[in-house]
Structure 1
């Protein structure tokens, strides 16, 4: 699904790609009905695999603020 695919790319070595995917996930999670919980759960499921786990934490925090 789209959440899993995007999260793979949020772990890219290129920080520009990471940031672009971060923004894309944020938009999906905050604009689509019921998407915020889906994305938060997926982020939590893969966070331990990411080089920059802090980016995952920031994304979860920002999504939760807008719920």
Structure 2
């Protein structure tokens, strides 16, 4: 079976080096409305995503 996706490891390494040298950090996207506890936060996001996923009429032709 032939792979349909190829990863250029040299380009990936160069990109990682660029990210390291720029001092880029992950954004803190937690808002005060979310729980502080990590497990409660993950549970909250899981329920929220489940509700959003089902927030449409499956019998309708579109979104």
TM-score (norm 1): 0.34
Q: Highest relative contact order (Cα 8 Å, sep 6+), 1 or 2?
A: 1
Q: Which of 1 and 2 has greater Rg?
A: 2
TM-score (norm 2): 0.35
Which structure: greater helix fraction?
A: 1
